[in-house]
Amino acid sequence: MDEDLHREILEDHGRRPRHKYELPEAEVIGEYRSGFTGNESKLFLKLSTDGTIAEASFMGQGSALSLASGSLITSFAPGKTTEELSKLCLTVSRVMLEGADDDLPGEMVVYHTICRFPERHDCALLAWRALEHALKEA
């Protein structure tokens, strides 16, 4: 995927975020508020009996990029285990903060482009930090 396609993916998720609602039956909830921007993200995970994520949603206040990140996470999460999501959190953090060339699944490849813009890291990682907090509870 190239940079133009990455931008299209982010703009689409930012304009029309998927799964942006409070999930009242969530067993796992994680919140994060940026000390830098004041933006907030809250992730909700409902677990299946087999230990996978049955449903994921988010609520947030912030930039289009922070909303796009919440949308990307919650679109990817169903069917995954908490361990898989935890590994993905680490990988995205490595890509964003260290410039690692690790493989990212599907639309998550957009983080390879975002990592080149340090001024956008806080927004791009907002929902991921909320997910990290949620996974500590799981």
Identity of residue 89: C
CATH code given to domain 3-137: 3.90.1010.10
Q: How far apart are CA 68 and CA 91, in angstroms?
A: 18
Identity of residue 116: R
User: What number of other Cβ atoms are within 10 A of residue 132's Cβ?
Assistant: 18
Confidence of residue 138 (pLDDT cuts 50, 70, 90): confident
Q: What is the pTM of this model?
A: 0.95
| 10 alpha-carbon distance from chain centroid | 12
Q: Count helices and strands (H / E) in the chain.
A: 5, 3
pLDDT at 80 over 90: yes
> Residue with structure tokens 């909700």?
44
List the chain domain ranges. 3-137
For the stretch 98-136, pLDDT in tens is 999 999 999 999 999 999 999 999 999 999 999 999 999
